[in-house]
Amino acid sequence: MGGASQKAGILDNKKNLVMNKEDFIFGTRAIIEAIKNGKTVEKVLIKKGLNNELIKELNFLIKENNIATQLVPVEKINRITRKNHQGVIAFISPIVFDNIENVLPGIYESGEQPLLLVLDQITDVRNFGAIVRSAECAGVQAIIIPEKGMARIGADAVKTSAGALHHLPICRVNNLFKTIQFLSDSGIHIVAATEKGEKLYTDANFNRPVAIVMGSEDDGISKQILDIANEQLKIPIRGKIESLNVSVSAALMIYEAVRQRS
């Protein structure tokens, strides 16, 4: 029989991550039913070599719903749970994702001036949660993230965001570049936060429809996205450390927009 979520957090020593009871379900039938009932399944781990009728049904649903999957040794699944997982475990998102193409017209129709945040591969869950918290407090109307290369949105992310993930539309997109092009075509001014910028963020005009793009902790914003941004803005650094934490940088950029609009 398939199982429900774990009753206690599990420590994955290899990656030093704590997975909470809300983060995953296990058992082939339980995961099949979760997908059929519209749960947001982030990723499915399947033990190598499994091949039966239920696994075939699960693989069909995974493909049909474009869910990330990975074939792994059973030891990897055992590090997450020792219960009767049947060689299959799925990570569940605690939120429902929104569609930016539906969210943006609603912002305009409400008479508000769009203030959006685009995150280009923020991989640290604590940074992501802190960014969402700052964005929600500042009145950002939506956050846009890519399907791949982002911190997994689980219970840890919700906790770090102080629950803000439940109050702010999170729009997950297949192609971040095309989405930014869509925003630009919709009248949104695209600003990229980067140390490569020549203009200070305090000198930019945020008193218009704006999307602020923040890049990954290690590599920053991808060149492809930098090239289509309307402006590249920098935050001045006076000390010996060359960059700020991305969650701090995001908060500074967002609240400069708030200051100007106030």
Evaluate whether 10-92 and 100-261 have a shared fold.
no
Provide CATH code, domain 10-92. 3.30.1330.30
Pick 219 or 163 by higher pLDDT.
163
pLDDT at 20: 53
For domain 100-261, give the CATH number: 3.40.1280.10
Least confident among 108-112, 184-188, 217-221, 231-235: 217-221
Domain boundary assignment for the chain: 10-92, 100-261
Return the ∠ at Cα 21 (arms to 19 and 23), rounded to 5°. 60
Percentage of the chain surpassing pLDDT 70?
A: 92
Q: Please write the tens of the pLDDT for every residue from 219-253.
A: 889 999 999 999 999 999 988 887 889 999 999 99
pTM score of the predicted model: 0.80
Within 17-85, strands assigned E span 17-19, 24-26, 41-47, 68-72
